[in-house]
Structure 1
Amino acid sequence: MNRSRTLGLLFLLALPAACSAPAPAPDPAPPPPHGRPWRPPVGTAWQWQLDGRLDHRVDVPVYDIDGFENDAEAVRRLHRDGRKVICYINAGAWESFRPDRRDFPAAVRGRGNGWAGERWLDIRRLDVLRPLMTKRFDMCRDKGFDAVEPDLMDGYLNDTGFPLTAAHQLAYNRMLADLAHARGMSVGLKNDLPQIPELVADFDFAVNEECAQYDDCAALTPFVKAGKAVLHVEYAVPLGDFCERSAELGFSSMRKKLDLGAWRRPC
């Protein structure tokens, strides 16, 4: 969900980090297989379900589901049905309900982000977060996912409790993209509209929430121009108020409820 926009405060802090973090260790993963990872085509239909029992009946070629809550068999079943499957993980906030919660030191947990059990992460600390995110990306790969959707990739725009800058976010987001590509998976840029010009080359598609509501969908057009899908949802805007514009822009748009259950209304 667009947690960073809906509940965060827009703070563009220009101060440098208080201390320099050690250089991150090199990624030990093997190189990706020959050929490019799968990439969702522009305009491809999709389903995004992060809550409730997984509904396999939606007739779309792409599913985006929770990486922790779904096992390898769930991914295999979707593959047998001809779907490609995207692995949702939270890359920008600590979550008290995840099995790896104790692996995140208290020093990298910031302020709450408005969602129960979640706290912003200090993305400056690549030395700490890279190994933890590596394990999560390994989980996605080992379960057979085709791609990754890391959430909360714009902490620098929010009141996280850390002096994050745009430069910190660029470095962190590119690290996430590298982790996915090193494992043969594609990766989506979640929101973070101001940095699309710098990041479109690093990511294989975009996932966006509520660009119609906030009248900034045009910022996503570099992805479509690059032949990369924009997977887009609205929560409050009626279909009739955004579908025509979405079609003009080449987006893959639908309306969802905030709980991101199985319910969907595509354009």
Structure 2
Amino acid sequence: MKSQTMLLSEIFGVLKKNILILLLMMLMGGGAAYYLSQYVIAPTYEASTQVLIVPKEEAGTNVIDSAQVSSSLSLVNTYRVIMRSPAILNEVQDRVGEAPADISEILLVESEEDSQVINIVVQYVDPVVATEIANVITRVFASEIPDLMNIDNVRILSEAVVPGEPIAPNVVMNTAVGLLVGFVVGGVLALIRHTFDKRIHNEREAEQILSMPVIGSIPVIEKRDMNPKVVKPKADAGNKPKGDDPHVPPVKETRQTS
């Protein structure tokens, strides 16, 4: 019975003996990942825009104190929730005819810590529609905030432009992952094959299993070696009739008449 604990060198030996299985699984995994990424999975494009939450100035002055800045920062999280609310997205849905049924699934609203800037990111399969949705969300939000919050402190920093390259799928990364998965699957198959193989392949395995030295071995005898070819002896040329020789014409019998 084979030892249940395999040394690292033995594992490498098993993988080396099953190198064809490993290569085949890696080729299948990498090829499948490349094909799916290149021809099956629809590319996703990303369009983004930014808005700034402006602190309110004191009446009659151009001074902005720290309390007003803190108030603007505290409004960022509130504004992020408002951007994803039906009050904004329903209006966007009406203005963008090709928008998906649920815009919130393709919308990301982000902001850095202690920042008054809000990033609106839209990820969609159509780059033009993604750009239009991002810009319309920004405009609708900026126009609705004065009515919703009784304060006009939203400014558009940048508008989205149509992206030229998709952000997903990443063909190179997916192919690399497919190769890795194929290698793992091939390695598992090789180890399973080795575990359930009860044959003794060489003298070293026999010594390990039996704990005895090998005194001698019987070589493998091929079938062709067991049936040697019989060579027939050639016929003696002196005993061969002349008539049988194709190079000697046959002798014709003649009769003498009187």
- Structure with the bigger percentage of strand: 1
With CA pairs under 8 Å and 6+ residues apart, which has the higher RCO, 1 or 2? 2
> TM-score if structure 2 supplies the norm length?
0.21
Q: Which has the larger radius of gyration?
A: 2
* TM-score, normalised relative to structure 1: 0.20
Q: Larger helix proportion, structure 1 or 2?
A: 2
